[in-house]
A and B are shown apart, each in its own frame.
Chain A
Amino acid sequence: MTAQTDPTGKKLGMWLFLYTEIVLFGGLFVLYAVYFAGYTDDFIAGAKELDLFFGVVNTIVLLISSFCVAAGITAVQKAHNRIALAGLWGALACGAVFLVNKYIEWGHKFEHGIYPGSDRLADGPAGQNLFFGLYFVITGLHGLHIIIGMTLLAVSLVLVTRQKITAQNNAMLDNSGLYWHLVDLIWIFIFPLFYLVV
């Protein structure tokens, strides 16, 4: 009755997908780097408008969430079910905090007339328009990944509760974890590029 499973193959498949994600964000970072080289002063002026506080808090929140997921995977492998559930709930809570911060942060920018195609950006210096264009595209795409990652973690959480993810069969959780860590890894580069180039 036991179905054939291939955890190595599942993991390799996930990594192949993650490689495409790395190249996707890598391409956007190259775009950033080229324009940064051309409009350094405008980019620095743009970065000064971003709130470092939100950047730091979101970095810490994502690092903690990654730890929670990794600890959750260890817990599943050791059959510590309650710790596993706590880890996944913790990671989901961190993801929610991240999104709320992003909402507040974007809201502030909108209030100040900074949004794609706004008059202020269109009439202002070209470099700042590029900076905020990249800011909204890159953090927006990253935010979308956070939502997808949270969905995967939520599904894993349900499966752990139903004992469908166990110490013997945890490829779904493992791969959701890999996705979540990659989203964290990308943020590790977004943070200095947008918040620290001041």
Chain B
Amino acid sequence: MASESHIIEYKTLGLTLAALLVLTGVTVGAASIDLGWVNVWIALMIASVKAGFVLLVFMHMRWEGRTLQWSFLATVLFLAIMIGFIFWDVAFR
């Protein structure tokens, strides 16, 4: 497995941190503009992008094998099923 010995360069990590800090600024800025319910979705979208950076680079998921990548996606899928069914239930009560 190539992933075992993959070393992430300091520069990659630094750029990732910079991107995360910029996105934090963007999300705070976006929240100061009142767009009603759209605000929540924008905030969650930016949070997901930030989470993606942390997951792919800091947690080196980008360089992992299929076992970890697919099992992670399966976890997210199950979370989505849980969220989806709960909202389905709540919406039609």
A117 within 8 A of B: no
A60 within 8 A of B: yes
Determine the chain B residues whose CB is within 8 A of the CB of A15 once the complex forms.
Answer: 68, 71-72
Cβ-defined contact, A71 with B13, below 8 A: yes
With A27-B82, A181-B58 in contact, is A74–B21 under 8 Å at CB? no
Size class of the contact patch on chain A: 35 or more
A52 within 8 A of B: yes
Tell which of A52, A56, A71, A188 touches B54, judged by Cβ atoms closer than 8 Å. A188
With A56-B24, A59-B24 in contact, is A196–B75 under 8 Å at CB? no
A-B contacts at CB below 8 angstroms, number: 110
- Tell me what chain A mostly uses at the interface: helix, strand, loop, or mixed: helix
Cβ-defined contact, B87 with A34, below 8 A: yes
Instruction: Spell out A's residues near B (CB within 8 Å).
Output: 7-8, 11-12, 15-16, 19, 22-23, 26-27, 30, 33-34, 36-37, 52, 56, 59-60, 63-64, 66-67, 69-71, 73-74, 77-78, 177-178, 181-182, 184-185, 188-189, 191-193, 196-198
Q: Mark B1-45, 1 if CB is under 8 A from A, else 0.
A: 100100111100110110011001001100100000001100110
A-B contact pairs, 16 of them (CB 8 A): A8-B4, A19-B75, A23-B79, A23-B82, A26-B83, A27-B82, A66-B54, A67-B13, A70-B13, A74-B13, A178-B59, A184-B58, A191-B27, A192-B27, A196-B39, A198-B31
Instruction: Spell out B's residues near A (CB within 8 Å).
Output: 1, 4, 7-10, 13-14, 16-17, 20-21, 24, 27-28, 31, 39-40, 43-44, 46-47, 50-51, 54-55, 57-59, 67-68, 71-72, 75-76, 78-79, 82-83, 86-87, 90
